[in-house]
Amino acid sequence: MLRTLVRKISKVSSIISLFLLVATPLFFVAVGQAADYPNRAVDIVVPFAPGGGADNFFRAVRGGLAKEFNVPTNIVNRAGGGGVVGASFVVNSRADGYTLAGLELLTHLMGKIISPKTVSYDAIKDFKPIAHFAYEPLMLVVRADLEVKTLEDLIAYARKNPGKLIAGTSGLGTQNRIDLELLKVATGTNIRFVTFASGGETTTNLLGGHVDLICGNTVTASRSHLKAGKIRALAVFTPNRLPEFPDVPTTKEKGLASVNVNMAYGLLGPKELSPEIVDRVSHSAKAALTSAEGTASLNKLGYILEYLTPQQLEDQMKKDYGLLADVAKKAGLIQD
C-alpha cells in the first residue's frame, strides 16, 4: 500500500514537472513580449471604408499614437456588414497588441443588438476595452427650403403631417439612425427613413432635396454646408452648445435630454490581450490626446476629447448597451 502511494505521488509529481517545463517558457515569452511591446508596426483595424467618420478620426490620431509607440502605426480598413467584418477580424487575431480595433463604439454595440443571432461575437465580452478617445458631435439638420426654422417647428410639423417627413440614415444600427429614433420616441412623432450606403450620401441627398432631415456629423459632413447656408441646423445632440455653432441649441435645452447620442471613438483589442499591453496602449492613447499638439489638432477639427480608462470604457459600454437595446426594441430594429 505504501509503495502504491509512493508511485501515485511520483506520477503526479512527474505530471506537474512536465506542466511546468512547458508552461514556464511560455509564461516568460508572454512577459517578454509585453515588456518589449511594441517592437514592430501596430495595425488599427477600422471596420469601415476610407473617408467615413471612424476612418477620419483614427487617421487624425494615428500620428500621435505612432509617436508614442515609436513604431509605424497603420490604419487598415476592413469594411463590410456595418462594421462586423472588421470587428470579427480583430476578435480572431492574435492577442499580442499588434492588431487593434478602432471603432465607432455605439455602432459597434448596435451591430450585435440588431442582429443577435447573425453576429457571432459578443460586442463587450469578446473584446478588451483599451481607451475612449473622443466623440464627434451630431447635429439635427434640415434642407434649407423646409418650412421649419426651429426644433419646435419640426416637431409640430411632424405631428401635423405624420409620415410626411423623410430622414436619411446610413443603416439600422448607425448613430444617425439612433438619435432620430430617440427623437421619435421622445416626441411621439412619425418620421420615415431612407437608408443610404454612408453618412456622406445622406448629406448629399439632403442637399439634393431627396430627404428632409438627417443627423449630420459636424466634423465630417455638415460643417461647410451649414456655413454656406445650404442646410439649416435645429439642434445639437451634445450636453453643451458647440463653440463653433453658439446659436444652435442643445436637445437638452429643448426638453429632450434623452436625445443626446454622439459618435464616440475608442480602441479595443482581442479579449485575451494582456493587462500590461492594455495599460501600455491606454497610456499612449492618453498621452497622444492630451499633448498640446494632439489637443489643438483634434479641437480644431471639431472633436470633443474625452479619455476614458479601460475600466471606465467597459462600464460606459455596458451602460450604453442597455440604453441602445431598449431603443432598438421600441423602434422594432431587431432583425433576427
Would you list the domain boundaries of the chain? 36-135+262-331, 138-236
Cβ neighbours of 255 (radius 10 Å): 12
Fold of 36-135+262-331: D-Maltodextrin-Binding Protein; domain 2 (3.40.190)
Contacts of 124 (CB under 8 A, 6+ apart): 109, 314, 317, 318, 321
Domains 36-135+262-331 and 138-236 share a fold: yes
23-37, 95-109, 229-243: range with lowest mean pLDDT: 23-37
Residue 226, class by beta-carbon neighbours within 10 Å (0-12 exposed, 13-18 middle, 19+ buried)? buried
Give the C-alpha separation, 178 to 82, whole Å: 14
Task: Please tell me what DSSP assigns to residue 219.
Answer: I
13-17, 61-65, 311-315: range with lowest mean pLDDT: 13-17
pLDDT-based confidence at residue 189 (cuts at 50, 70, 90): very high
Q: Which amino acid is at 88?
A: S
Give the C-alpha separation, 305 to 294, whole Å: 10
Q: What are phi and psi of 267, to 5 degrees?
A: -115, 130
pLDDT digits (tens, 9 = 90+) for 128-161: 999 999 999 999 999 999 999 999 999 999 999 9
**Percent of the chain at pLDDT exceeding 90:** 66
For range 176-188, the mean pLDDT: 90
pLDDT of 27 strictly over 70: no
- pLDDT at res. 11: 57
- pLDDT at res. 321: 95
- pLDDT at res. 219: 72
Mean pLDDT of the chain: 89
**Percent of the chain at pLDDT exceeding 70:** 90
pLDDT-based confidence at residue 14 (cuts at 50, 70, 90): low
pLDDT of 104 strictly over 50: yes
Specify the CATH superfamily of domain 138-236.
Answer: Periplasmic binding protein-like II (3.40.190.10)
pLDDT of 103 strictly over 60: yes
Return the bridge partners of 167, or none. Answer: 193, 213
45-49, 67-71, 74-78, 257-261: range with lowest mean pLDDT: 257-261
For range 45-63, the mean pLDDT: 91
pLDDT of 177 strictly over 50: yes
Say if CB 133 and CB 331 are below 8 A apart.
no
- pLDDT at res. 26: 44
* Max intra-chain CA distance, the chain: 96
Say if CB 262 and CB 252 are below 8 A apart.
no
Which residue matches cell numbers 517592437?
39
More confident residue, 199 or 196: 196
Say if CB 203 and CB 228 are below 8 A apart.
no
- pLDDT at res. 267: 98
pLDDT of 119 strictly over 70: yes
Q: Return the top range by mean pLDDT from 184-193, 239-248, 275-284, 326-335.
A: 275-284
Total H helices, total E strands in the chain: 11, 11
* Alpha helix (H) residue ranges in 82-135: 84-91, 105-114
- pLDDT at res. 30: 45
pLDDT digits (tens, 9 = 90+) for 281-310: 999 999 999 999 999 999 988 899 999 999
Cell of 283: 497610456
Long-range contacts of 275-283 (CB under 8 A, 24+ apart): 276/31, 276/34, 276/35, 276/37, 277/34, 277/37, 277/96, 277/97, 278/128, 278/130, 278/310, 279/310, 280/34, 280/37, 280/38, 280/97, 281/97, 281/100, 281/130, 281/131, 282/130, 282/131, 282/309, 282/310
Which residue matches cell numbers 509512493?
6
- pLDDT at res. 81: 84
pLDDT digits (tens, 9 = 90+) for 223-275: 889 989 999 999 999 889 998 899 999 999 999 988 888 889 999 999 999 99
- pLDDT at res. 207: 94
- pLDDT at res. 217: 81
More confident residue, 149 or 217: 149
Give the C-alpha separation, 220 to 59, whole Å: 13
Give the C-alpha separation, 158 to 113, whole Å: 28
Q: Which amino acid is at 217?
A: N
List % helix, strand, coil for the chain (3-state, nearest 5): 50, 20, 30
